[in-house]
Amino acid sequence: MSVPAFTVHTEDAVARFRRIRHQTLALCVGLSGEDLQVQSMPDASPGKWHLAHTTWFFEQFVLGHDPAYRSPNPEWHYLFNSYYESVGPMHARPQRGLLSRPTLEEICDYRARIDEAVDNLLLRGVTPELAARIELGLQHEQQHQELLLTDIKHMLSCNPLLPAYRRAPAPMQSRAAHLRFLPGRQGPVDIGHAGSSFAYDNETPRHTTWLSAHALANRLVTNAEYLAFVRDGGYQEAGLWLSDGWALVQREGWQRPLYWQEDLASEFTLAGVVPLDPHAPVCHVSYFEADAFARWADARLPTEAEWEDAAAQLPIAGNFQDDLRLHPATAPLGDGLLQMFGDVWEWTASPYVSYPGFKPLPGALGEYNGKFMNGQWVLRGGSCATPRDHIRASYRNFFPPHARWQFAGIRLGQDR
């Protein structure tokens, strides 16, 4: 089982490995063992499990690449495998919160031992194949850093006290830019990853697609704009919703985005309950809600090809995990497209399917992305919980259309 070689990050390999692994632990500072044990819903995982699973990934796919390697805890492979069927059986995802053993202390020790072993590999020098596996592990770790934050937020929101994870920086006091639609390119364009830098297999191959005449909103949809949809009866108008979305709204009693409070004037954040900023992007909405809002606004969601073609011409800049705000911020004033990266993942109108000529990675690592290409929708651009050096214009995130606990929001598109 081989992983295609690519040019690794310019940062020193050992320093990069240590920095990213340390950041996961840093995100847990201030959380108790009880906080890290709770699983608030089947789609979320306990913080303790994230710490262990990301370590298992390095043990399984980096250290385990050596036939002579022997795991110190082989029975843990069953506990911390996520969905790699070809590697072996795994503990049921909805029951991860029941794993009180191994303890948090044992898992932290596990991380330290595996980190030391990978460190030693890097210091001795590794083959391009092993370097590619380590980079994949680091990219995987950064994905779990974001999941850790979103799962912590959901967990704390289930507590009637609505406790804060951390104190947030002072809110940005600015107004959103005037909403405008900017025309995109029309005709044949190339999308998908190009070059030798890291990318997931689902971003390949680069290929030509056709863009019809269209325009993209210059910024994300704000809380104030979404509030107008709520107050206009958007959640009561069946004609705005896809059939499955309308059934879900009726069944779950949705009346507003996840984490908005009943007063429609405040929302739960990682800093606790704060006033709803009318100029900040709306977030924690599902694909169904994003699509319904777009219909109400006499617009539509962009396709992923429209989004990528526009984003590829822009620098990667925005409000990311590195900024420690951990909440969407008001768009900066300026011309052109704003907030294409960071703040919130942007739902697109594109189902998550393979590109023409797609081939998953060989072996177990091929289960990473390809087998989920059904019943999911593509999101683009990263969020305030995404590490800045993890995102790129070709990055394809994906979630089922009902998912709300991710930092997901809305950019509008139009036909021209």
**Residue 231 located in a structural domain:** yes
Q: What is the pLDDT of residue 2?
A: 54
The CATH number for 25's domain is: 1.20.120
Q: Are 326 and 270 in contact (CB under 8 A)?
A: yes
Determine, yes or no, domain membership for 166: no
pLDDT tens profile 247-265: 999 999 999 999 999 999 9
Query: Residue 172: its pLDDT value, please?
Result: 66
For residues 387 and 312, membership in a common domain is answered with: yes
- Residue 325 and residue 274: Cα distance in Å, rounded? 13
What 3-state DSSP class applies to 322?
helix
Q: Is residue 330 part of a domain?
A: yes
Same domain, 268 and 301: yes
- Specify the pLDDT at position 206: 97
284 and 377, same domain (yes or no) = yes
- Is the domain of 411 the same as that of 309? yes
Structure tokens at 372: 């989920």
User: Do 133 and 226 have their domain in common?
Assistant: no
> Does 257 share its domain with 198?
yes
Cα separations (Å) of 230 from 47, 56, 227, 264? Answer: 33, 44, 5, 9
Dihedral sign computed on CA atoms, order 137, 138, 143, 147: positive
Question: How would residue 366 be classed by pLDDT, with cut points 50, 70 and 90?
Answer: confident
Average pLDDT of the chain is 94
The pLDDT of residue 167? 87
Tokens representing 209 are 């697609």
Which residues, in sequence order, are CB contacts of 240 under 8 Å at separation 6+?
234, 292, 295, 296
At residue 370, the pLDDT reads 84
Average pLDDT of the residues in 287-311: 98
Helices marked H in 69-212 — which ranges? 76-80, 104-124, 128-157
pLDDT band, residue 339 (cuts 50/70/90)? very high
Query: How many distinct structural domains can be found in the chain?
Result: 2
Cα 386 from Cα 148, distance rounded (Å) = 11
Mean pLDDT value across residues 42-64: 97
Question: Which tokens sit at 342?
Answer: 């960071």
The Cα–Cα gap between 414 and 291 comes to: 13
Question: How many Å apart are CA 388 and CA 140, to the nearest integer?
Answer: 14
Q: 211 - beta bridge partners?
A: 187
- 5, pLDDT greater than 60: no
| CATH code, domain with 380 | 3.90.1580.10
In this structure, are 187 and 136 located in the same domain?
A: no
In a domain, 171, yes or no: no
Mean pLDDT of all residues in 61-74? 93
Same domain, 227 and 153: no
What integer pLDDT is reported at residue 169 of this predicted model?
Answer: 73
**pLDDT at position 8 over 80:** no
At 48 the three-state DSSP class reads helix
Confidence of residue 353 (pLDDT cuts 50, 70, 90): very high
- One domain, residues 246 and 197: yes
Full residue range of the structural domain in which residue 283 is found: 181-415
Q: Is residue 165 part of a domain?
A: no
- Judgement on whether residues 353 and 408 belong to the same structural domain of the protein: yes
Q: Are residues 200 and 142 in the same domain?
A: no
Instruction: Give mean pLDDT, residues 270-276.
Output: 96
Q: pTM of the entire structure?
A: 0.95
54 and 190 in a single domain? The answer is no
Confidence band, pLDDT 50/70/90 cuts, at residue 1: very low
